[in-house]
Amino acid sequence: MRSCYSFRHTLALLASAALWLMAAPIHAEGLLTGGVAPVVGDEVDPEATESTKPAPPPPATIQPASKLVRVHGVWSQFSELPLAGDAPNTLTYGGKLDGYIDIGGSAFGADNSITVHVRPEFRYGEDSNGLIGLIPSNTELFYPGDGEVFDLSLSVTKRWKSGVSLTVGKVNVLDLAEHLPVIGGGGHEGFQNLAMALPPSAVVPAKITGVLLDVPTKKVLYRFWVFDPAVQSRRSGLEDPFDRGVAFLGSVTFPVNLDGKHGYYAVKLAGSTRSAIADDALPAVLVPGPGSTFGQRKGEMSVVLAAYQNVAEYPEAPGKGWGLFGQVYISRGDPTFLDRSALFGISGNPRARPQDRFGIAWFRYSLTNKLVDALSARLALEDEEGVEAFYTLQVAKPLRVTASLQVVDSAIAARTTGVLGSLRVSTRF
């Protein structure tokens, strides 16, 4: 029955692509970008040219009603099929619909340096997460709960003319990862495996509730967060705030110019006062039983060194090109469930079709040795290593089709190397 269900939904995915292809000329000119600034996340968006950089925040005056509320969305559909390994050779279909609503301060009597962000999201269907590796192979469909799941994030941002911004509330960290240089995508675009789409630190969850401060300067970009270390998916963040401790993230990013090519190099430090394993972010099989010696040490700390360097920039297609990226992660271990990780890859736009995108990357993640020992009687574990390659074809401005292939040597020692093929259709409106 599952195969029949998946086959019908795969046909629906392909049919929707055809419908969007026919409708694209109507919608392309009305595509809303939501006014994303070049400085997003820890880095600067390399595709932001002088013509796309936003102007300084407007003065505190009433704006036309059409500019007070900006709404746009992204809908991605996925069909996945394990091609080799121990996973059942069953086709799956699922999707993710994300909404972005930005309300200017003038709409509720404040000035327009204040923006309210309303962020609904809806996931449905099936996925192949956990079938070929412990790290989720599909970032957008990785979500607590099965089947149809709805979540809502709400935050308020204050921006100053200097570029400094302060955000308070519940934030989807994937929205920031989407705009990282070279590697960026966040699951709707670019790489699908979480290892690259949102490299896990085991300290910063995908949904956080807290305070986020960004301070861009002419030479350095600073960021400092204070947040609840518990995963905030399907929560308001107000039920039992900071019950598990307090977490923080600080980063410094250095924009550089090597032989006329833009690059961004970052140091990130994250930690928390938590004294237990982050069981809300792990499958049950990786959570030690009662009486385990793992997860008893108080406090965690990790450091990340990241680099994003453009190798080629196309003068005939501003903001397009290709580059290299890499990251090394180290933590002090217990109670953090990851202690080491590394990734390296290439991503960008082919010169013949700069509207398309390609990428290939390698990753390796290591579970903390004390956790491996604590689980040894239940499950033999080792490092997880893999490669993902993708190519995105822009069929029309709001429609992009991506083929992805992942090869993963699972952290579960008994598994054979798995291969997963997938098709993603993303539409923006």
Question: How does pLDDT run across 247-269, given as a tens digit for each residue?
Answer: 999 999 999 999 999 999 999 99
129's tokens: 């997460």
Task: Report the SS3 class of residue 12.
Answer: helix
Give me the pLDDT at residue 69, please: 93
Residue 73 C-beta-side C-alpha neighbours within 13 Å: 11
Q: What would the pLDDT profile of 115-140 be if each residue is shown by its tens digit?
A: 999 999 999 999 999 999 999 999 99
> What is the rounded average pLDDT of the residues 410-416?
95
> What is the rounded average pLDDT of the residues 54-60?
37
Give me the pLDDT at residue 296, please: 83
Q: How much is the pTM?
A: 0.82
> 398 vs 49, which has greater pLDDT?
398
Q: How far apart are CA 310 and CA 289, in angstroms?
A: 46
Give me the pLDDT at residue 144, please: 74
Sorted by where each begins, the domain ranges of the chain are 2-428
Q: Which of 126, 128, 144 is nearest to 136 (CA)?
A: 128
> What is the rounded average pLDDT of the residues 132-153?
90
Q: Which of 195, 322, 343 is nearest to 263 (CA)?
A: 322
Residue 163 has pLDDT above 90, yes or no: yes
Contact 400, 20 (CB under 8 A): no
Task: Please give the sequence-ordered ranges of beta strands (E in DSSP) within 31-91, or none if there are none.
Answer: 39-40, 43-44, 69-84
**β-pairing, 114-125 with 149-159?**
antiparallel
Give me the pLDDT at residue 52, please: 32
Q: How far apart are CA 349 and CA 182, in angstroms?
A: 10
Q: How far apart are CA 101 and CA 175, in angstroms?
A: 13
Cα Rg of the chain (Å, integer) = 21
**β-pairing, 247-258 with 43-44?**
unpaired
Residue 51 has pLDDT above 90, yes or no: no
Contact 341, 366 (CB under 8 A): yes
Q: What would the pLDDT profile of 188-233 be if each residue is shown by its tens digit?
A: 999 999 999 999 888 999 999 999 999 999 899 999 999 999 989 8
Residue 47 has pLDDT above 70, yes or no: no
Give me the pLDDT at residue 339, please: 95
Chain mean pLDDT for the chain: 85
Give me the pLDDT at residue 67, please: 73
Share above pLDDT 90 across residues of the chain, in percent, rounded to a whole number = 68
Write down the H helix ranges in 170-246: 174-177, 194-197
CATH of domain 2-428: 2.40.160.180
Contact 399, 420 (CB under 8 A): no
Give me the pLDDT at residue 281, please: 81
Give, as one character, the DSSP assignment of residue 416. Answer: P
The answer, yes or no, to whether the previous bond of 335 is cis (omega within 30 of 0) is yes
> 18 vs 197, which has greater pLDDT?
197
> What is the rounded average pLDDT of the residues 409-416?
95
> What is the rounded average pLDDT of the residues 356-363?
98
Find the length of the chain.
429
